[in-house]
Amino acid sequence: MYLFHDLKLIYIIVPGTGSNSFHGSLKKKFNHWERVRVNGNHPAWDIDTNIRNAAHFTARQAKLMIEPRTWAHYKKISFVRDPYDWVTSIYNKGGLLNSIGEDNTIPFHTFIKNLKITPYFWFTDNDGEVIVDKIYRIEGLNTEIFEEFNCAQLYENKSTGKKYPFSDDDKEIIQRKFKREFIHYDR
């Protein structure tokens, strides 16, 4: 996660949503930013035991790490991605089990059935209430989002992993598990 002090912005990074394209451009444009670091015995590690990569801490973990005044006065943002694209992207990532607790070494269809978290996992508190101020669709990054933050795109993340066919059963599971993400998309 990043703090962009010039913008009074907290950026919660959801893996598989094009985060490098976004924060890379912001870091180039704005001078006063920091990547939030945490020591190994910080209580934030205990909130979501499946998240073992501090770069991808959830908003509820960030809330424990960031000074309360900053948390209260900075805008908290994150990105969502089309659920089918996100599932494919996250399945193709390396080290997933050790970083966010999802096993992508199993067959694709089994992965979908076993998937426990979705992007909204990063946006919510323990009761499922959204605690970020704005959720952007990553598909708008090249247009309105860079324009909103008055910065230029340095590069575009590309999904280079293998594409997998979705069975009807997969689609049914994704429709159910990603109900909240689908509110950002017309389907």
What is the predicted pLDDT for the residue at 162? 86
Q: What is the per-residue pLDDT for 34? A: 92
Q: How do residues 84-116 score in pLDDT, each as one tens digit?
A: 999 999 999 988 888 888 999 999 999 999 999
Residue 179 is predicted with a pLDDT of 96
Percent above pLDDT 70 for the chain: 95
What is the helix, strand, coil percentage profile of the chain, to 5? 45, 10, 45
Q: What does the pLDDT average to over 17-32?
A: 87
Q: How far is CA 136 from the centre of its chain?
A: 10
Where do the structural domains in the chain lie, given as residue ranges? 2-182
Rounded to an integer, what distance in angstroms lies between the CA atom of residue 48 and that of residue 73? 24
Q: Answer yes or no: is pLDDT of 154 > 90.
A: no
With beta carbons less than 8 A apart as the criterion, state whether 132 and 71 touch: no
Q: If 0-12 CB within 10 Å is exposed, 13-18 middle and 19+ buried, where does residue 36 land?
A: middle
Beta-strand relationship, 134-137 and 33-35: unpaired
Which tens digit of pLDDT belongs to each residue from 121-139?
999 998 999 999 999 998 8
CA distances from 97 to 124, 139, 143, 187 (A): 21, 26, 33, 30
Q: What is the pLDDT at residue 46?
A: 76
Q: Which pLDDT does position 151 carry in this prediction?
A: 86
Higher per-residue pLDDT: 48 or 1: 1
